[in-house]
Amino acid sequence: MPNWTKEQALAINEKGKNIIVSAGAGSGKTAVLTERVITHLKAGVKIDELLILTFTNAAATEMKIRIRKKIKEIKELKSELDKIDSAYITTFDAFALSLVKKYSHILNIEKNLQIADATLIKLKKEKYLKEIFDKYYEIKDPLFEKLLDDFTVKDDKEIFENIINLDDKLSNIYGKEDFLKSYINNYYSEEKLNNYIEEYLEYIKEKKKQIKNQIHALDLYVDGTYIEKIEEVVLPMLNSKTYKETKDNLITKLPNMPKGVEEDAKELKKEITKILKEIENLTKYEDESHIKKTIESTKDYAKVIVKILIELDEKMKKFKSKKSIYEFIDISNMAIDLLKTNQKVKEELKEKFYEILIDEYQDTNDLQELFVSFIEKNNVYMVGDIKQSIYRFRNTNPKLFKDKYSLYSKGEKGLKIDLNKNFRSRNNVLQSINKMFDYMMTEEIGGAEYRESHQMIYGNKT
């Protein structure tokens, strides 16, 4: 039996609440997750009463192999072996698809639906959007013409591609059609406009914080006299409380560096100058009311883009329904529709699973999070590492991990467990990595304060 650390033992045995486990590289995450499943089985929970969700088929297969191997070692669990292949150790997509097919009669779709080829969907979407563009050209839609006049030079290719990309992004929002139909009223309301201003000002504050961090890093390479010179010209802007004060106190040229400094110091100065230029661009407006008017001026463009997106969405829905072919994003939406509109199915799933275990939780997207929220009962076990979030191109949302980690750290709504001990690497390797990421990864850059709670600890003492 392995000698589990205190934190690993807690991650294996703690029950009765939502749990998020922040598991760094080499911390034994998969072993802990497997042992937790075995612990449940020893306590009388059946393997098919656990929902274990992964992000790839390979990960699901590996998890099944590990669990099968462990069960074979424990005589009293042999009866569970036959259930492994049919157990709910699967990907989000596969589980959602199984639900949609099982309850196809409720959703009023064909049971033998197929997953669409991505190339086919792309070609169809482009074909339909071209038809919509051609129609708008023919009827000489005034808002469409204004959009083209203001944002095109030679042709409409760039706008065409941007609308395709925008449609792809919006597909990750549950209730896309309702979102589009209410967009103009919602996002150009007085309240929203004021929120935009606040977010804009907050973004400027974040840039100021980045400069402070860079100056702190620069202090390691140059003497205090030079740091004092930089602070003398930059601090009035960094300490400004209002938009106008920031604009009035902005300095973009820094004092010359002393001779013979290291290249790293020069790079840090360049980075500070770059951020100052960004703040200069952000403070190009006269005041907050000017920012507000600028946002309001985009309303006509938004109106026609939303109109085009609604038409495109309707055409794609008809095509998919007629051919009974769907993308996985459609399957996720249908699975959520099923749980949202059918109380009986939702309650059946809630009662069926003793625990929902999610591996690589940092790669969860908003639709998957919403899906789980319908079937959880304070019994979600999430394992991941925000530092290893690599699937943003698939619309994953690491903020879900970050927000839960922060909330559970305060003891609210769940338990946070840190597995920071690395058993894979040598101490000098970990020290070098920690030193580097202390400065590279902050909440603004990377989504986590590495220095505060994500440093790796040397664990292999043998």
Give the chain's mean pLDDT. 90
Angle at which helix 118-139 crosses helix 299-323, to 10 degrees, equals 130
pLDDT at 393 over 60: no
pLDDT, tens digit, 9 for 90 and up, residues 307-358: 999 999 999 999 999 999 999 999 999 999 999 999 999 999 999 999 999 9
- pLDDT for 142 equals 96
Collapsing DSSP states into helix, strand and coil, what is residue 231? helix
Instruction: Determine the average pLDDT of the residues in 153-160.
Output: 92
pLDDT at 446 over 70: no
Instruction: Determine the average pLDDT of the residues in 99-105.
Output: 95
Instruction: Determine the average pLDDT of the residues in 426-455.
Output: 68
Which residue spans within 359-399 are E strands per DSSP? 380-384
State how far the Cα of 275 lies from the Cα of 271, in Å rounded to an integer: 6
Least confident stretch, 21-25, 80-84, 290-294, 312-316: 21-25
CA angle 84, 90, 93 (to 5 degrees): 155
The amino acid at 191: E
Total number of residues shown for the chain: 462
- pLDDT for 325 equals 96
Collapsing DSSP states into helix, strand and coil, what is residue 426? coil
- pLDDT for 29 equals 84
Instruction: Determine the average pLDDT of the residues in 274-294.
Output: 95
pLDDT at 459 over 60: no
Q: In 3D, which of 317, 210, 350 has the Cα closest to residue 271?
A: 210
Instruction: Determine the average pLDDT of the residues in 162-172.
Output: 94
The bridge status of strand 415-419 relative to strand 19-23 is parallel
- pLDDT for 57 equals 92
Q: In 3D, which of 389, 362, 358 has the Cα closest to residue 375?
A: 358
- pLDDT for 391 equals 57
* Count of alpha carbons within 13 angstroms of residue 138, beta-carbon side: 6
State how far the Cα of 86 lies from the Cα of 47, in Å rounded to an integer: 9
Long-range pairs, 255-264, Cβ under 8 A, ≥24: 255/226, 255/229, 255/230, 257/222, 257/226, 258/222, 258/223, 258/226, 261/221, 261/222, 262/221, 264/221
Q: Are 89 and 115 a contacting pair, CB within 8 Å? A: no
pLDDT at 406 over 70: yes
**C-alpha distance from residue 236 to each of 240, 248, 313 (Å):** 6, 9, 50
Q: Are 445 and 207 a contacting pair, CB within 8 Å? A: no
As a whole-number percent, the residues of the chain with pLDDT over 70 amount to 92
pLDDT at 394 over 80: no
Q: Global pTM?
A: 0.79
pLDDT at 416 over 80: yes
